[in-house]
Structure 1
């Protein structure tokens, strides 16, 4: 767990909803927010894992199991946040992921629709609910967890990357629509050590990055805390890229991979 900031209590008395919170980035964010004084509503599909995650945080956490695409889940989670503090101060749209993916011109449209539903439509549903039930009156901060895939063209991930690119632009649109009382920002992580990236050769990938290491869930949680707190009070409609320098390696990856694997020629 990331250490609490020197001025612990940046979210004291506030209520936050974190989707995809049973593990990885979502759980790291929920833990940090609770350490900073927030009551956190954790949302995820795996009820057992989610309950264990909430129990690891303690009384400052409430678990709401269900699909983030389900309006009933959204209603129960917003109810829980309102019951805890009377408001919804922070929403972290973290749940997402690639369904079966591949070239856009060849994939079944049902797979493309699934990617849009989970990664773009669902975050909008959560934002609309938070706005209607609390933020319209009280204000708040929204952070959408996207991906550097939304800023690039990763191979065989066309639907996921397209959905994340849409999420980044929707962040800008909503920031324009909902300011000044509500701030909307995004984070675009690179490869982070989570269950979702377990197939990645972390050591080999880390060697080609300027930072020389793979991202950790706490790296993203720290940025989410900054965007959710008053410290970013004049920031809205922005995307923070946290990728260890992955995107700036464009044009240099070829040599890096050759050095690691001894393949090819300059």
Structure 2
């Protein structure tokens, strides 16, 4: 592929598998160095190997919402690869399923903490350490759930709506030197989303005009576009990547 990101370093949270790893694969293919995070060291080591090893990727294990972990990741990106030009806030949790009226409030707070507050903290810290002086680009991984409701995952959807609003507010604050955009996928075939389609994939996909669910590379390519100079006049935008679901009137 093209050398779109040669000389640039990307930090991608939650990237030992799934969407985050697909983003890392695309960015490495286009010349970037990547620093990936995740909770499990072994899974991160496997991901780093799949990305071409330490010449191309660095894995740092930790919890995405841990501010000390965030400091370590950003510092290691700069000392190892020389910069922190790109940030992809991909980590998210959805530990509960069911109606909001019975939702444990501790779980609700945790969802917002990881899916929203942590993403803001990553932006604050990478801004202080690198982007504030040198510029850069941020992509937040939201969800079509931030645009329309979905049964059983109301708090997750609310957190993604908040993330979309944070994307817009940060874009206004941080321009012109830093662009901040988001992607909003529908159901993508990952372990994280398995409960939404496993055992009934054909039924779920039937609601999509493109008649299939997403795969991680569908999102990786769009994130790479938003990070690149091809999107240099885009900021504060949320690109819906959903196989046409949100315009089809398909089942919520």
Normalising by structure 2, what TM-score? 0.95
Q: Check whether the contact 1:101–1:159 (CA below 8 A) recurs between aligned residues.
A: no
* Equivalent in the alignment of 2:247: 248
Say if 2:6 is the partner of 1:12: yes
Helix, strand or coil at the partner of 1:105: helix
Unaligned runs of 5+ in 1: 255-266
* Equivalent in the alignment of 2:32: 38
Cα distance in 1 for residues equivalent to 2:164 and 2:148: 12
Cα distance in 2 for residues equivalent to 1:197 and 1:158: 15
* Equivalent in the alignment of 2:45: 51
* Equivalent in the alignment of 2:237: 238
Q: CA deviation at 1:207?
A: 2.2
Q: Check whether the contact 1:21–1:42 (CA below 8 A) recurs between aligned residues.
A: yes
Unaligned runs of 5+ in 2: none
Which of structures 1 and 2 has the bigger CA Rg? 1
Q: CA deviation at 1:203?
A: 1.9
Normalising by structure 1, what TM-score? 0.90
* Equivalent in the alignment of 2:109: 113
Q: CA deviation at 1:193?
A: 0.7
Counterpart among 119, 122, 126 of residue 122 in structure 2: 126
Q: Which consecutive segments of 4 or more residues in structure 1 shift more than 3 A?
A: none
Helix, strand or coil at the partner of 1:196: coil
Q: Check whether the contact 1:150–1:161 (CA below 8 A) recurs between aligned residues.
A: yes
Cα distance in 2 for residues equivalent to 1:21 and 1:95: 8
* Equivalent in the alignment of 1:206: 205
Over 3 Å counting, the alpha-carbon distance change for 1:53 and 1:190 in structure 2 is same
Cα distance in 2 for residues equivalent to 1:136 and 1:85: 18
Q: Check whether the contact 1:101–1:111 (CA below 8 A) recurs between aligned residues.
A: no
Q: Check whether the contact 1:142–1:182 (CA below 8 A) recurs between aligned residues.
A: yes
Cα distance in 1 for residues equivalent to 2:170 and 2:97: 28
CA RMSD of aligned residues (A): 1.2
